[in-house]
Amino acid sequence: MAQHTSEEIFQQKVDNEIKIEAREWMPDEYRKTLIRQISQHAHSEVVGMLPEGNWITRAPNLRRKLILIAKVQDEAGHGLYLYSAAETLGITRDEMYEQLHTGKAKYSSIFNYPTLTWADIGAIGWLVDGAAIMNQVMLCRTSYGPYARAMVRICKEESFHQRQGYESLLALSKGSDEQRAMLQDAVNRWWWPSIMMFGPSDAESTNSEKSMLWKIKRQSNDDLRQRFVDATVDQARILGVTLPDPDLKWNEERGHYDFGVINWDEFWNVVKGNGPCNKQRMNARVKAWNEGAWVREAAMVFADKRRQKVA
Ligand code: FAQ
């Protein structure tokens, strides 16, 4: 009988939709790319709290404030599930934070844009959470078990976030001329960065080939981006806003919307740390880490004391 290599057995499991679990053999590159993607995803959730947190004290009424607080807390929770999933692969949480704080690990480009008005909070829910779900639904079926299981709950919460964002924009769309203008301005600023969230084009994506083979990713960056555009155009119509792309039009032959050329220079500039808020975001995270040192220390002492008591 032919002997199978560990790599062949691993690939067969992936091909047969059997989840890979933490203690099983996996190629080093699979482990590495999962740590990279999951930790960057976790960092995105945590940094993603900053632009929204900025509006908690200024939400227009109590209901909106409660919803926003709950949403920001959800994002913290998503970060924690994801850090835990990454830890199962043999990296510590401190190492992941270190990578974020030193700029070695990326986080989503989208969170380097400012939230200038209340409408930006709705636009984040509608467009940013909308793009996030479009990308993340496939991750519920990703080949690595702990990541897939974390994503099930995250997607449920993200889809609620998307709907609350849309509902809050719908309220603005029925409001005064000023409110409608604020809504349009937010959509004008968030549309292109949301399209960019899906990452570079398939031709430029360095990780996709391996990630698709290993079923970490199941759909390409460009396919997901197209699905997002197709789904969003009708929603914009209902809101009564225009999308800031003169080339956006239905293509009967393709059965999809065509859209304009993405400004990839802007995307890479933001990814490399030169976006409007990169420095501000990183300073806020490093400050929170430094100022939280006493909490971590106190928690460790408390845990040690409890352990001693139990023993
Ligand atoms: N920003 O080869 P690919 C959220 C990097 S969570 C920055 O195509 P891959 C929730 C990429 O890392 C949003 N960098 O990479 C929320 C790679 O560099 P590396 C985050 C980006 O991994 C909502 C290089 O470019 N979601 O929004 C970006 O196969 C509201 C080449 O790219 C996830 O992380 C970008 N946009 O595909 C929170 C989902 N795109 O690492 C608060 C999980 C690409 O080799 C409020 N991640 N790069 O140095 C993924 O699905 C994938 O990692 C992609 C990128 C699709 C993001």
**pLDDT tens for each residue of 195-220:** 999 999 999 999 999 999 999 999 99
CA of 107 to the centre of ligand 1 (A): 7
Mean pLDDT of 182-193: 98
Contacts of 47 (CB under 8 A, 6+ apart): 100, 107, 108, 111, 281, 285
| Residue whose CA lies nearest to ligand 1 atom number 44 | 199
User: 97: how many CB neighbours lie within 10 A of its CB?
Assistant: 19
Quickly state the pLDDT bin for 311 (edges 50, 70, 90).
Answer: confident
Angstrom distances, CA of residue 156 to CA of 35, 150, 160, 172, 296: 23, 11, 7, 25, 30
Q: Which atom of ligand 1 is nearest to the CA of 224?
A: 56
Q: Does the beta carbon of 235 lie inside 6 Å of ligand 1?
A: no
| Total-model pTM | 0.96
Candidate of 205, 223, 274 to mutate for ligand 1, largest count of ligand atoms within 8 Å of Cβ: 205
Q: What angle do CA 170, 173, 176 make, to 5 degrees?
A: 140
Tokens of 76: 């913290």
Contacts of 128 (CB under 8 A, 6+ apart): 48, 110, 190, 194, 197
| Residue whose CA lies nearest to ligand 1 atom number 30 | 129
| Residue whose CA lies nearest to ligand 1 atom number 10 | 45
Instruction: Please say whether the dihedral angle defined by the alpha carbons of residues 238, 231, 259 and 119, taken in this order, is positive or negative.
Output: positive
Mean pLDDT of 52-61: 96
Q: Does the beta carbon of 159 lie inside 6 Å of ligand 1?
A: no
Q: Does the beta carbon of 278 lie inside 6 Å of ligand 1?
A: no
Angstrom distances, CA of residue 45 to CA of 16, 72, 176, 216, 256: 31, 9, 33, 19, 30
148 and 142 in contact (C-beta within 8 Å)? yes
Q: Which atom of ligand 1 is nearest to the CA of 36?
A: 41
Residue 3, pLDDT score = 79
In this predicted structure, the answer to whether residue 303 has a pLDDT above a threshold of 90 is yes
User: 252: how many CB neighbours lie within 10 A of its CB?
Assistant: 7
Query: What are the start-end ranges of the H helices in the chain?
Result: 6-15, 28-47, 49-53, 62-87, 93-101, 118-123, 130-136, 145-173, 177-196, 208-213, 221-239, 264-269, 278-291, 293-310
Q: What angle do CA 189, 121, 271 make, to 5 degrees?
A: 55
CA torsion angle 265 269 270 272 (round to 10)? 140
| Residue whose CA lies nearest to ligand 1 atom number 12 | 106
Residue 1, pLDDT score = 59
Residue 309, pLDDT score = 87
Quote the distance between the C-alpha of residue 309 and its chain's center.
41
Q: Which atom of ligand 1 is nearest to the CA of 197?
A: 36
CA of 15 to the centre of ligand 1 (A): 24
Candidate of 35, 40, 55, 278 to mutate for ligand 1, largest count of ligand atoms within 8 Å of Cβ: 40
Residue 5, pLDDT score = 94
CA of 199 to the centre of ligand 1 (A): 6
CA torsion angle 134 139 140 141 (round to 10)? 120
Tokens of 243: 């999308």
Q: At what angle do helices 278-291 and 293-310 cross, to 10 degrees?
A: 40
In this predicted structure, the answer to whether residue 310 has a pLDDT above a threshold of 90 is no
CA of 104 to the centre of ligand 1 (A): 14
